[in-house]
C-alpha cells in the first residue's frame, strides 16, 4: 500500500491516538492528505498551534453523530480511521444515551458515509472492554464492532471494506490511570480498586503502528488483536510511586478484575500469527478468510485474558514504559 497516494480521515483526530497517528503518518508515511474530523474547535486550534500544521493537513469541525457532515468530509477520502468515542466508563454509565449516540449511532454514520463516499478502507478502534462487557462503554464498543464487521455485507458489491482493531489499555493516554497515579504520588498515597487487578498494556506508538500495519493487510471483516503484555495494577502503582502508601478502595461498578481480548467462543474463528491474532467473521460469506493459510487455528477453549497471559511486565519493565510520561508530567504537559 502506497500511503503517499492516500487521503486519510481520522475521526476523533484531536485525541491521544489521533495526535500520535498523525505524527507517525507525517514522519514515516507522508500521505497525500490527512483530515482531522472532531467536534471541539479549541482542541483543533491547540493541535494546530502545537505544530500539527503540515500543508497536507485539513481540520474539519464535525460530530460523528452528524451523518451529513461525515459524508461531506469523506468526499475523495481513501482510508478512514474511526477513533472517535465516549470512553470514560463512569461518564457512559451516567449518560447512557450519549454513549449509545456516539459509540453506536456514530459508528453507523461512519459506515454509511464511507459507503456513500466510496472510501476504500475503514478501520475502527475497539477495546478489550468489548469482550464479555460488564459496563455500558464495553457494550457500545461491542455493538460498534459488530456494526463495522457486518457492514461488509453491504459493501460486498462495492470497493469499501471494514475491519476493527481491538487492544488493551494505552499507557498515558487521555483518561488513563498513569496521570492519576503521578498526581496522587505528590500526596504520598495512591488509590487502586483491587490489588489482584490485571490489565493488558501497550504504548501509544505501538497501538498506532499496529493500526497502520492492519490497515495495510486488511481484507474486510477481521478484528485484529495484538500480542501485548499484561501487568498488575499494583505493580504500576509501585513503579510510579514506590514510596507512597497504596490504599485499596474496592472495585467500582462496571469494572473487571481482569480483561479479555479474545473469548473462548471467538477463539473458534481466530487465527494465531507471530505478533497478532486475527478474529475472522463468524459468517464470512463475502471475504476475509484467507488468513487460514497464514497462521494456525487456536486450540479449543483458548482464552486470551490479562491474568493468564504468557507475557508480563514487572515493576522494572513498567518503569521503562512510563519514563516518557514522567518527563511530560514534570514539564506540565501530560494530559489527564
Instruction: List active site positions.
Output: 129
Q: What element of type H or E holds 11?
A: strand 7-11
DSSP string, 208-256: HHHHHHHHHH--SS-EEEE---EEEHHHHHHHH-TTSEEEE--PPTT--
305 pairs with which residues across the strands? Answer: 260
C-alpha torsion sign, points 161, 166, 171, 177 = positive
Parallel, antiparallel, or unpaired: how do β-strands 230-232 and 198-202 relate?
antiparallel
Neighbours of 40 (CB within 10 A): 14
CA-CA-CA-CA dihedral for 301, 307, 311, 316, to nearest 10: 180
**Cell numbers that stand for 227 in this block:** 500480542
Length of the chain: 336
| CA-based nearest residue to 175, from 208, 131, 127 | 127
Residues 6+ apart with CB under 8 A from 327: none
Question: Which residue pairs, CB below 8 angstroms and at least 24 apart, start in 142-149?
Answer: 143/103, 143/104, 143/107, 144/85, 144/103, 144/104, 144/107, 145/223, 147/104, 147/107, 147/108, 147/111, 148/82, 148/107, 148/111, 148/122, 148/124, 149/221, 149/222, 149/223, 149/281
Q: What element of type H or E holds 282?
A: none
Amino acid at each position: 500500500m502506497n500511503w503517499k497516494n492516500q487521503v486519510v480521515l481520522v475521526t476523533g483526530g484531536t485525541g491521544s491516538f489521533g495526535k500520535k497517528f498523525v505524527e507517525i503518518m507525517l514522519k514515516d508515511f507522508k500521505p497525500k492528505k490527512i483530515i482531522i474530523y472532531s467536534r471541539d474547535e479549541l482542541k483543533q486550534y491547540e493541535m494546530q498551534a502545537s505544530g500539527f500544521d503540515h500543508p497536507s493537513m485539513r481540520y474539519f469541525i464535525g460530530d460523528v453523530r452528524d451523518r451529513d457532515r461525515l459524508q461531506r468530509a469523506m468526499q475523495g477520502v481513501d482510508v478512514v480511521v474511526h477513533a472517535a468515542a465516549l470512553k470514560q466508563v463512569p461518564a457512559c454509565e451516567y449518560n447512557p444515551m450519549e454513549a449509545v449516540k456516539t459509540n453506536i449511532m456514530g459508528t453507523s454514520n461512519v459506515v454509511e458515509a464511507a459507503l456513500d463516499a466510496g472510501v476504500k478502507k475503514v478501520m475502527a478502534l475497539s477495546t478489550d472492554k468489548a469482550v464479555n462487557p460488564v459496563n455500558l462503554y464495553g457494550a457500545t464498543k461491542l455493538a460498534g464492532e459488530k456494526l463495522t464487521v457486518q457492514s461488509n455485507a453491504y459493501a460486498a458489491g462495492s470497493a469499501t471494506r471494514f475491519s476493527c482493531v481491538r487492544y488493551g489499555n494505552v499507557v498515558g493516554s487521555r483518561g488513563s490511570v498513569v496521570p492519576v497515579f503521578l498526581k496522587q504520588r505528590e500526596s504520598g498515597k495512591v488509590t487502586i480498586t483491587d490489588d489482584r487487578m490485571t490489565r493488558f498494556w501497550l504504548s501509544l506508538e505501538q497501538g498506532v503502528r499496529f493500526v497502520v500495519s492492519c490497515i495495510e493487510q486488511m481484507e474486510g471483516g477481521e478484528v485484529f488483536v495484538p500480542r501485548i503484555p499484561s501487568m498488575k495494577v499494583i505493580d504500576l502503582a509501585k513503579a510510579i510511586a514506590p514510596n507512597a502508601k497504596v490504599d485499596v478502595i474496592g472495585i467500582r461498578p462496571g469494572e473487571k478484575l481482569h480483561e479479555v481480548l479474545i473469548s473462548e467462543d471467538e477463539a473458534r474463528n481466530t487465527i494465531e500469527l507471530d505478533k497478532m491474532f486475527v478474529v475472522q467473521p463468524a459468517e464470512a460469506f463475502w471475504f476475509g478468510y484467507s488468513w487460514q493459510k497464514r497462521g494456525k487455528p487456536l486450540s479449543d477453549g483458548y482464552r486470551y485474558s490479562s491474568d493468564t497471559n504468557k507475557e508480563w511486565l514487572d515493576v522494572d519493565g513498567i518503569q521503562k514504559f512510563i519514563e516518557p510520561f514522567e518527563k511530560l508530567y514534570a514539564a506540565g504537559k501530560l494530559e489527564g
